A and B are shown apart, each in its own frame.
Chain A
């Protein structure tokens, strides 16, 4: 059973639109969440991390975290074709935060 579940599996968003990706952990011991982005044929790169309840914004990207439900979401506004990629959510405990458990990812396609 996948401990980090992401939805949807794939998402098509028109250029300039808002993309919303979801991630939930079934392991109640996790404390931190991470979002990585992986373009086709490339390696994952960290996009954002969130450790506390609430919201964090960096440019066009906003991450929310609800620790009670162990749910995080990533929102991309004004989506660009270059945002087309596999988005990976990962979770870890505070003690041993280097041990990430990744979800299967959401494949995001931005349609020009």
Chain B
């Protein structure tokens, strides 16, 4: 069963703390994504990764960085989290040049 997993599902952090969101997929998809979704703003692309150590900024990369050391695993890192980074974060993956994106269940992050 094709699956994208995200950990943790819920996270509460204080402003200034570091945050690590993790994403895994078991479909050997080359391309992986991080989005955030906010009410009234839709889904916004933070970073895209084309394969191991091949990452590219999306539309809103400021305040975020990513790491992809294995094809099946993609991490989103917030160094010194800010309150405006409170959001629901979705990871997704797709096969190279197939383009249908498979989304994980999301992580609800609250930064106090």
A→B interface (CB under 8 Å): 2, 4, 32, 42-46, 49, 88, 90, 92, 97-105
Cβ-defined contact, A42 with B100, below 8 A:
no
The CA-CA distance from A97 to B45 in the complex, in Å, is 13
Q: Point out which of B58, B101, B105, B106 has the most chain A C-beta atoms below 10 A from its C-beta.
A: B101
B→A interface (CB under 8 Å): 31, 33, 40-45, 48, 58-59, 90, 94, 97, 99-101, 103-106
Q: Point out which of A43, A45, A102 has the most chain B C-beta atoms below 10 A from its C-beta.
A: A43
CB distance from B50 to the nearest CB of A (A): 8
Cβ-defined contact, B90 with A44, below 8 A:
yes
Asked if A102 meets B44 with Cβ closer than 8 Å, knowing A43-B90, A43-B105, A97-B99, the reply is yes
Cβ-defined contact, A42 with B94, below 8 A:
no
Residues on A with C-beta less than 8 A from B42 are 2, 4, 88, 102-105
Cβ-defined contact, A42 with B105, below 8 A:
yes
Interface contact tally, CB-CB below 8 A: 46
Residues on B with C-beta less than 8 A from A97 are 97, 99
Cβ-defined contact, A43 with B103, below 8 A:
yes
CB distance from B9 to the nearest CB of A (A): 11
Residues on B with C-beta less than 8 A from A100 are 43, 45, 101
Residues on A with C-beta less than 8 A from B48 are 98-99
Instruction: Output the nearest chain A residue to B94 by Cβ-Cβ distance.
Output: A98
Instruction: Output the nearest chain B residue to A105 by Cβ-Cβ distance.
Output: B42
Residues on A with C-beta less than 8 A from B90 are 43-44
